[in-house]
Amino acid sequence: MANPPKTHLPTALPLSNPRRSVSRSTTANSMWWSLIENGGLALISFLSLIVYLRLLSIADFGLFSTALALIELLGVLVTMLFHNALVQRSDATDVHFNTAFTATMALSLLMALGCWAMAPTFAAWVHQPDAARVLAWMGLIFPCSAVSATLVAQQRRHFAFRTLALRSLVGRVIGGGIGIAAAFMGAKLWSLVLQQILIAAIGSFVLWVSSDKTPRLQFRYAEFKQMIGFGMFSVSSLFLSISIRRVFTIFATSFLGVEAAGYLNLSFRLVDVLWATAATAVNQVALPLLAGLQFDPVRLKRAYQASTRFSCLAVYPCFVGLGAVAPDLVEALFGHRWEPSSPYVAVLGFLVLVQAPRLQFAPLLTALGRPRDSLVGLIAELLFMLSVAASFGMPSLPWAMAIWVASECLLTVVSGWVIRRTTGYSAFEQFGGVLNPLLASLLMAAVVTATRMQMPADLGAVLRLAVLVPLGAAIFAGAIFLLDRQLVKDFLIFARIAFERSPKTPELP
């Protein structure tokens, strides 16, 4: 028999504070707008990627991806240092938001200057002189993102995902359009740099002018002290989560060169088109939802389990299907010269089978006021990856990908153990709802792979996809309906509620 759940209440929130609970329609509607935001961003990024890969050399793309990996890694400190603390605290005031805004702006300026200072060292490390100028100019992304970092937390706290979606999409469309135009005009590598700066700047501007209430420069140490402890643990978890991928990319570049890094980065980015849509949407809504239930262990557990089941039901067929048709998809989208990346796209697609069940781990631990517990699995993964790379190096791309797969599997095992220790949830309570979507997805992959092997070799990639994609969708739909009809019914009800008009403010219990 499983141990009873342990509810760890955050020390910053006294028990007298009212619980922030939200209605089912608010949750569903927020999830819908978060999916629109992240799906739209992923689609725009994907279309831009197709254009850039046809205009840029493999070496240029590898160089930019390496610099972007470092910027995205450091950018977590700017955008997320106070984010979760502001969302999780039920007693957050204007002074909290103003203090977070002031501290974030100061940090972003220091980091922008730091990029200029460390640019020569970075260029020497990746053996590319042009990397110095690229990193220096991309440092401008930090202050551009910092302007709206506090506003994003404020909007998510109040489930204003529609505003965030429109802001993000406007910034990505305008910035991406200008970047692509610059690429056609011959800017090459610098078109990508310009695009990233404009996306951050325009997105922040749109959110700032569309918000009824904006933060101001004000700093109070008492409020800063209340947030910084929680924020450091929370951002450390996210920082490690993001840094592992970025560090892996930088290591691969150092061991294998920029051309191999280009193939590797294409594999990650193609999978990220879907992952950014699903995983980010789930996490954005899960944190305020679970935080509102942190004082109600029964409802918290039920919400966690339902969210895990729904996530795997939606995510598994997309990524397993992507892995099954990877060679045809890469050829159809990017051409024959990018074909060496297709095996790694397939591996990353199937790897989501162990990644998706842990989507709720970090939001759950953060909602319970224990963000530091997320660090255990991430530290184990990072140490494993670094120790293997240091001991054996990365002599080839297949070897590098094997290190990545082993690291992700280790993270899932250790994180599941941490959740059990923190909440008392058994392994079955954490992963029990995953089995049926997993079986349906594997059956789909087997049928699609067998069908693909029987198709004529001279049939074009687009025609093969036109047959395989509908076939895979039909196989998965039929299999999951036979295996778990109730899960399908509950998911469809939740999806229908997302289109209903939600309350303007969360319902209080």
Question: How far is it, in rounded angstroms, from Cα 41 to Cα 78?
Answer: 20
Collapsing DSSP states into helix, strand and coil, what is residue 181? Answer: helix
- Long-range contacts from 226-230, C-beta under 8 angstroms, 24+ separation: 226/12, 226/85, 226/89, 226/96, 227/82, 227/85, 227/86, 227/89, 227/96, 227/99, 227/100, 228/82, 230/10, 230/12, 230/84, 230/85, 230/88, 230/369, 230/371
Class of residue 20 by CB neighbours under 10 A (exposed 0-12, middle 13-18, buried 19+): buried
Rg (CA), the chain: 23
198 within domain boundaries:
yes
The three-point CA angle 271-277-281 to 5° equals 140
Tokens of 374: 């997320």
- Can you give the pTM of this predicted structure? 0.64
447 within domain boundaries:
yes
Inside any domain, residue 246 = yes
274 Cβ contact partners less than 8 Å away, ≥ 6 residues apart: 42, 315, 318, 319, 322
Looking at residue 503, its pLDDT comes to 43
> Distance between CA 273 and CA 263 in Å, rounded?
16
Give domain status of residue 215, yes or no: yes
Read off the DSSP letter of residue 385.
H
Look up residue 56 and give its two tokens: 């840029």
Q: What total of structural domains would you count in the chain? A: 1
Q: Which amino acid is at 442?
A: L
Residue 287 counted as domain residue: yes
pLDDT at residue 166 in the model: 74
Distance of CA 444 to the CA centre of its chain: 25
For residue 39, the model assigns a pLDDT of 63
Q: What is the pLDDT of residue 346?
A: 92
Q: What are phi and psi of 22, to 5 degrees?
A: -130, 155
The pLDDT profile of the chain, 509 residues, written as one tens digit per residue, is: 334 333 333 333 333 344 444 555 666 566 666 666 666 666 776 677 777 767 777 677 777 777 887 888 788 888 888 877 787 776 778 888 889 899 999 999 999 999 888 888 888 877 777 788 888 898 899 998 888 888 888 877 777 667 777 777 787 788 878 888 887 887 777 888 888 888 888 888 888 888 878 888 888 888 888 888 777 776 777 777 777 877 787 777 778 776 777 788 778 878 877 776 666 666 666 666 676 676 778 888 888 888 888 888 888 998 999 999 998 988 888 777 788 888 999 999 999 898 888 888 878 887 777 777 888 888 898 899 888 888 887 888 888 889 999 999 999 999 899 999 888 888 888 888 888 999 999 999 999 999 988 888 788 888 999 999 999 999 999 999 999 888 888 877 766 665 554 444 333 33
Return left, alpha or beta for 179; rule: phi > 0 is left, psi -120 to 50 is alpha, else beta: alpha
Which amino acid would we find at residue 435? L
Phi, psi of 283 (to 5 degrees): -65, -40
Does any domain span residue 7?
no
How far apart are the C-alpha atoms of 463 and 460, rounded to whole Å? Answer: 5
pLDDT at 243: 73
For position 66, what pLDDT does the model report?
A: 75
DSSP state of 212: S
**Inside any domain, residue 1:** no
Reading the block at residue 91, the tokens are: 């007693």
Count of Cβ atoms closer than 10 Å to residue 107 Cβ: 18
Is residue 12 a part of any domain in this protein? no
For 204, the domain range is: 24-497
Residue entry with tokens 């095992």: 413
